[in-house]
Each structure stands twice: as C-alpha cells, then as structure tokens.
Chains A and B, each alone.
Chain A
C-alpha cells in the first residue's frame, strides 16, 4: 500500500514537472508574436536563476544574503562591458560575467567567514550598496551619467555601439534563458543531493556540530558563495543582454536582492524548485497585473509575509511533507511546543 502510494507520488511529481516544462517549451508557439509575454517569460527564467542562487547560499547553507544584487550587477556589468567594447559574443561574455561574480563571491566570503548571522547578512548588504556607489563614483558606464551603460555612437566611425542582444530573434533568447534555467536547476538538484549539499545543510543547521563532524565549514561556505555568485552573475549577464543596457538602478538596486528573497520565500526556502515557482509567480504578477499598479506588489509582499507566518516551510515543502504523511497515513506533526518565558 505504502509502496504503491509512494510510487504514485513520484509519478505525480514527475508528471507535474514535465507538464510545466512542456508548457514552458511551448510558450513561443502558444503566444506567437506576443513579445511582451515572451519577454515576461524570459524575465521569469532570469529571476528563477537568481532565486535558486539565493536559495543555495541562504536557504541551503543558511548564510542569509541581503545583497544578491552584488553578484547580479557584477555579472551584468562584466558581460555588458566586454561584449560592447571588445565585441565578444554574449555567449562568451555571459559565462565570464558569472566567473567575475563568482570571484566577487570569494571576495565577500573572505570577511564573511569569521562572521555569522546578522553580521554576515550586513556584510552582504554592505557589499551590494558599496558596489552600487563605486560604479556611480567611478562612472564605469562609458556614457558617464551615474555609471549607466547605453548605446553610444563612435564619432570617428559613426558606428553605434550597444550592448548586443543574445540573439535578434526573441524566441531564441527565450529558449536560451529557459535552457540555462533548466540546466542550472538540474545541476543544483544534483548538487544539493551530493555530499557537498549535505555539508551545506549541516552548516546551516549547526555550524559547530558540522565542524565537529569533520566538515570544513570554511571551505564549504566559500564554495557556496562562489557557486551562488556564479549563478547570480549569469542571471545578471543574461538580463543585461535582454535589456541591452545597464545602470546601477537596473542591475544593482536593492530591490533585486529583495525580489530574490521574496521569490524564495513564496516558493519555499531550501527546495531549489520552490524558488523557481516563486520567481515565476512573482514575475507573472509583476508584469501581467500592471493595470493594478502598486497594488500587485503590495499584495505579493503580503502573501510572502503570510507564507512566512503560516507556512514557514514554504508552499512546496509543505505540500511535499503533507503528501509524505499521506503516504505513511499519518497526520502531519503539530508545530513543536516551544518553551515560553
């Protein structure tokens, strides 16, 4: 009986994932010519990558980052500057953006190693605010104003230099973003089930205990920062080629960090696929419900807060847990009776 139900569960989950994936593959065919909608789905994939990246570092490893825009922005600026000034294809500069962001992760991780909890979160926040300021001060963007990168005309040759798109064909851009997102999701699902993923979780649950069990917490924390940075950098790089411009406000804003957190909270921290669902939910509401103005964001944030209050495990994890209990025909465990003072 139990075995039968467990098998049903696996099939149901697999079916849901495959149907969703099938739908996503068909998006360009279903909405032919609707570039607004296709763009929206591109953004949803980019934010899914960003949210998974946050989830790996914060949801899995417990290092709460308030500054994921740091990695996102580094990836975006690196890829934009390289492709625009050296004329390299985005297909090369996007991974390079990821590598730079990964080095950024190393940079943040080094002071962060001695820091825990709120101290660490503050370092991530400060890094993000700092690089935002730095780019404005250095006027990194060649256009000058507040560090923005836009198209510029070379006066000598009359050629218009822009941040190149990944492809002129929006459907190809869509499949690129979707493919990248799916590959990263698969990679992360394997990663978190590997010994590395177990080490990450052990560090999150109790760092001292993890060290006592022989896990080199420092090494794994650096690794988490670097992988997470790499992925967020890829997301930022794809974003910059999608928008064909960059500015601190577009790719380094604190809002990006907040959105990554909101997406993960909506779908459930520490589940990899949950944040993907959360990112889709968030972006679709943000883009498709524009007629409702600011109400839509207000509503999404309130929903996220309610999820934290009432489904702290996250929607996906809660559903999975309830199904597991259904398989074992048990009632879900009541919330633990805590001590009260």
Chain B
C-alpha cells in the first residue's frame, strides 16, 4: 500500500521556482531516500510535505489528501525531523523527548520513552542535561528520539548525519536499522551522503536543481553510470 504519494508538486519562492513537478511515492514499511547535492531542494521538499511552506499540488497520505498545515500533518503521524534539528536548547533531554509526544493521548508514551533510551543509551545517561550542553551527535540523537516520540507512520529525516564524525555517523546508522526493523517505521530520508543513503534504502530518488532526474531501487541505481560518477565517486 502506498503511504505517501504525490504528483506534480511545485514550490515557488516569490517568482523563483524551487521545485518542479515532483512525483514521488513511499510504500508502507519502505525506506526511501532522496539524494542530491546541497541546494537541490531536498529540504524544500520536506518543508512542503510537512506544511512548513506552501506548495501547489496535492499530496496523498495514507489514502487521504494531506492537509497543508504542519499541526494537521503531525496529527496524522507524518513526523519531520528537520535539518538543523530545531531542538529546544534550554530544556532537558527528557523534556525535549516528551514534547515530541505532545499530540499523543495514548498511554504508551512512557514505554516509548524507554525505547528511545534503549535505542540511544547515551540519552538516558544525560536525560537531565540541557540539550545545548550536548555534542552534535547527541543532539542528533535527541532530534531522532523526539521524532520517534511522535509515533510516526512516516518518519522524514533531513540530513541526519550532516557534520557528524564517522563514528557518530555509524551510531546513527545502526539506530536507523533498528528503527526500521524493530519498530517497522516507514522512513523517508534526505541525504547528500549517497553512500549512507545506499546503505539503508530500498528505493531512491535523485533530486537536482528542483527536479527528480533519476529514480529506482537502490540496486538499480547503484550501477547507474551517472550516479556512480557524480555521487559515489567510482
């Protein structure tokens, strides 16, 4: 079943067009990546999907038209973990995580909090610390944890490894595997780092200057000469 589906999505900044006729879909349980260089429009696309900016066109989520307001998209379980993280720096780790569950009224919030702590034991140790005192990698863990606390049907991760050391990147990488296997969360990832994306994705889209220029399964695209040359450095 298709969880997310869109055709001809266009985004304008004033007169400049940032995204052109984006068509994209994500199946339930899939891990899909959008790769492309800096400035290609990955963040713009994510911001449009989660309603942070306005767009022309219709997005279908879970078989229904996706509302265009952030608040409503979050209520449906479309959780966007943004580039730059947008954490609450003067609050503790645990408060940041709990705010991620703001929309939820079910009784499993505490259980999910423990699961986030199992996923990132580092956060459990530092749960009373202010987020601003954490390292970049730890802050990224808080950001992913906060998104998980929102009980996502679709988790959109925007550049989760940007600026992180290789060792930290591998922590995040392991966590993503676990999130997908254990919690069966559908993931849409935006990445400049194609290697990282190939490692996790079932399918991928290549976005360049606001247009989708390649798409296919990871296996197919891995041997695409253009991608090999431009993104994988072979």
- B13 within 8 Å of A (CB atoms): yes
Q: Which of A333, A336, A337, A339 contacts B52 (CB 8 A)?
A: A339
Closest A residue to B11 by CB, please name it: A337
A341 engages B14 (CB within 8 Å): no
- A340 within 8 Å of B (CB atoms): yes
Residues in B whose Cβ lies below 8 Å from that of A339: 47, 52-53
B52 engages A340 (CB within 8 Å): yes
Q: Which of B14, B51, B70 contacts A337 (CB 8 A)?
A: B14
B13 engages A337 (CB within 8 Å): yes
Prevailing SS type, chain A contact patch: loop
The answer for the CA separation of A340 and B12 in the assembled complex, in Å, is 14
A336 engages B47 (CB within 8 Å): no
The answer for the CA separation of A337 and B15 in the assembled complex, in Å, is 10
The answer for the CA separation of A337 and B14 in the assembled complex, in Å, is 6
- B54 within 8 Å of A (CB atoms): yes
Closest A residue to B14 by CB, please name it: A336
Q: Distance in Å from the Cβ of A337 to the closest Cβ of chain B?
A: 6
Q: A-contacting residues of B (Cβ < 8 Å)?
A: 12-15, 47, 51-54, 70
Closest A residue to B71 by CB, please name it: A341
A337 engages B12 (CB within 8 Å): yes
Residues in B whose Cβ lies below 8 Å from that of A333: 14-15
The answer for the CA separation of A341 and B51 in the assembled complex, in Å, is 8
Residues in A whose Cβ lies below 8 Å from that of B52: 339-341
- Sample of 17 further A-B pairs with CB below 8 A, known A337-B53, A341-B70: A333-B14, A333-B15, A336-B13, A336-B14, A337-B12, A337-B13, A337-B14, A337-B54, A339-B47, A339-B52, A339-B53, A340-B51, A340-B52, A340-B53, A340-B54, A340-B70, A341-B52
Residues in A whose Cβ lies below 8 Å from that of B54: 337, 340
Q: How many A-B contacts if CB must be within 8 Å?
A: 19
The answer for the CA separation of A339 and B47 in the assembled complex, in Å, is 9
The answer for the CA separation of A336 and B15 in the assembled complex, in Å, is 9
The answer for the CA separation of A336 and B12 in the assembled complex, in Å, is 10
Residues in A whose Cβ lies below 8 Å from that of B53: 337, 339-340
Closest B residue to A337 by CB, please name it: B54
The answer for the CA separation of A169 and B136 in the assembled complex, in Å, is 75
Q: Distance in Å from the Cβ of A218 to the closest Cβ of chain B?
A: 31
The answer for the CA separation of A69 and B32 in the assembled complex, in Å, is 62
The answer for the CA separation of A249 and B214 in the assembled complex, in Å, is 72
Q: Distance in Å from the Cβ of A321 to the closest Cβ of chain B?
A: 15
Residues in B whose Cβ lies below 8 Å from that of A340: 51-54, 70
Residues in A whose Cβ lies below 8 Å from that of B51: 340
Closest A residue to B15 by CB, please name it: A333
The answer for the CA separation of A337 and B54 in the assembled complex, in Å, is 8
Q: Distance in Å from the Cβ of A332 to the closest Cβ of chain B?
A: 12
Residues in B whose Cβ lies below 8 Å from that of A336: 13-14
19 contacts between A and B (CB under 8 A): A333-B14, A333-B15, A336-B13, A336-B14, A337-B12, A337-B13, A337-B14, A337-B53, A337-B54, A339-B47, A339-B52, A339-B53, A340-B51, A340-B52, A340-B53, A340-B54, A340-B70, A341-B52, A341-B70
User: B12, B53, B70 — which one has the most chain A CB atoms within 10 A of its CB?
Assistant: B53
The answer for the CA separation of A340 and B13 in the assembled complex, in Å, is 13
The answer for the CA separation of A250 and B13 in the assembled complex, in Å, is 49
Residues in A whose Cβ lies below 8 Å from that of B15: 333
Q: Distance in Å from the Cβ of B93 to the closest Cβ of chain A?
A: 23
Q: Distance in Å from the Cβ of B13 to the closest Cβ of chain A?
A: 7
Residues in A whose Cβ lies below 8 Å from that of B12: 337
Contact with B along A308-341 (1 / 0, CB 8 A): 0000000000000000000000000100110111
The answer for the CA separation of A39 and B53 in the assembled complex, in Å, is 54
The answer for the CA separation of A276 and B143 in the assembled complex, in Å, is 53
Closest A residue to B52 by CB, please name it: A339
Q: Distance in Å from the Cβ of B91 to the closest Cβ of chain A?
A: 18
Q: Distance in Å from the Cβ of A67 to the closest Cβ of chain B?
A: 32
